[in-house]
Structures are given as C-alpha cells and as structure tokens.
Amino acid sequence: MSDPFFTPVSGFDLPRFAGVPTFMRLPHVDFDHPRFSDVQVGLIGAPWDGGTTNRPGPRHGPRQLRDMSTMIRAQNGATGVRPFEALNCADLGDVAPNPADVMDSLKRMEAFYASVHAAGIRPLTGGGDHLCTLPILRALAKDGPVGMVHFDSHTDLFHSYFDGTMYTHGTPFRRAVEEGLLDPKRVVMIGIRGTAYDNEDRDFADSVGIRVIPIEEFHARGVDDVMVEAREIAGQGATYVSYDIDFVDPAFAPGTGTPEVGGPNSFQALQVVRALQGLNIIGADLVEVSPPFDPSGATAYLGASIMFELLCVMAR
C-alpha cells in the first residue's frame, strides 16, 4: 500500500495551476526532513549550464520542468504503471551550483549526489546541461563502473574544447570513461546525428567499444529492434540512463541549445524509454531543456513526460 505522505497532490484537490510547483506535485523533502530516509526515488533539479559552449539557458530548465510537470497524473496511460504507489518518491530540491566556477560546481554536485546515493535513494534529475551527468556518475559509480543507455544527437565524447578546456557539455562521457565510471562495452548511444568538425568522438567510441547507433540506423531499424540491442548491451548490471532532450527532433522540442534536425518524434521519444523495461536502473536524467528557446513550455512538458516514463520504468 502506498504511503499517503508520498502521494502527489491531485488536481481534484488543488487545481494544477495552484500551489507551489514541485516535480509532479510530490512532497518536497530535503536532507533534514524526518522522512528523508524513507525516499526511494528522489527527483532533483540541477540548475546549471556552466558547461554550455554556445546557447546558454538550461540553468532555467528545472524550474520550467517543475512547472510543466504539474500536468502529470497518477497513472501511465500506456503501461498502466502507477509509480507513486510502487515507490516513495519526493522532490529533493535543487543541487546548488556555483555559477561562476565550473570545477567548484562539479564538486558541489558530486557531494550532493553522494549524500543521495549513501541514503539508498535513486536519483532522477532534471537538468541543466549535459556536463551535470559527470558529477552524478562520480557519485553513483564509486564502487565500480556502470553501464549507460544514452539518448542524444551528440556523443559528448570529445576530448576538449578550444585551448584544452576539459569540462564542457561535449566532454562528460569521455571523462567518465577515462575516470573508470563507465564500462564502455556496456554503453550504447542512440540517435547520434548532425554535422561534425571531425571523427574524433566516433573514433574514441570505436577504440573503447562504445556502441553508437546513428539516427539513420535508428529510423531504418525502428524503436523495437534498436532497443532490444540496447538492453542486451546494458545487460543486468547497474545501468544509468541519460536523456538529452535534443535526441528529439526540434520540431517537437525546440527549447534546447544545440538542436539537430532529423530526430525522433515525441511519441518515439516516449517509446524508447518504455523499452528500457527490465534494466537495473540506478539513476537517470533528462537534460538540456532551455526555456529561453521555448517560452511556451512545450519542450519542458515533453521533458517532464519523459521523466515520468523514466520513473515508471524505475518503478517496475
């Protein structure tokens, strides 16, 4: 039986446009809250885009994601899953970055997620740019490398930017492999596309055994076939899921800093998450929602819907 404390506020009790917005209208539980130790999945905001190299804005993503997530209801219409009855879920608030210092922000985020992990809570994060995933992995993979299913239009496997800057939203998974946080042979990257400067990232992926599924292959094979392979690659070991909203075609998700045309539609964006069923997911994130490029909130609503699908898979 579900714990009433962790039940989201119903739209029948308080209109969705009223009240303080939390992720999916869940209770806000900070580290000092007496129910903190009872949380099983913590929804967390990572309002930071210090790794952005072109169009900033994802620092505002968590706030808009929370606002749009008030539309989420109790039951998954496709799978029937009722995640808030299966798990004690809460909004753990935002990690507090240092907007003027990349390295300090990485340390702050790692410490925050280390505390979450130590409490036995699986994090589900709304970002923030994709560099946010690196400190999360540092916190979750201290005991050994994990697998990863990565939805994106970019590999984020580059070595560095400009004069050797090593920490941007284009480098987190290169660092994660180098630091032993990811087992590259259990990593699959799906939806990769767009113009490129060179083949550096793809060459690195090949050299360490990361499976890259470009968008042309994704469309040719279809969601079901691609996701069978993705589950096989991740296996039954601990697996992290990282979902960049620019995986989705900008016709459906324009509010992001580095859009790439030719991507999946919004239905396929949900299908790929549902097909993660059966994996041992230790945490997940939805990153790169940038409200300045979509003030309507449509991109954030899709992002919140993807987060709900991730939560449903984690609940099963």
d(CA 42, CA 283): 9
122 bridge partner residues: 41
Q: What's the token pair of residue 279? A: 């994996």
d(CA 11, CA 32): 28
195, 194, 226: which is closest to 211 by C-alpha? 226
279, 184, 285: which is closest to 239 by C-alpha? 279
Instruction: Answer yes or no: is 38 a known binding residue.
Output: no
Instruction: Answer yes or no: is 130 a known binding residue.
Output: yes
Instruction: Answer yes or no: is 67 a known binding residue.
Output: no
Instruction: Answer yes or no: is 101 a known binding residue.
Output: no
Instruction: Answer yes or no: is 201 a known binding residue.
Output: no
d(CA 304, CA 300): 6
Instruction: Answer yes or no: is 154 a known binding residue.
Output: yes
In this structure, the strands spanning 238-244 and 211-214 are: unpaired
d(CA 229, CA 150): 13
**Which residues contribute to the annotated binding site for Mn(2+)?**
130, 152, 154, 156, 244, 246
**Which residues contribute to the annotated binding site?**
130, 152, 154, 156, 244, 246
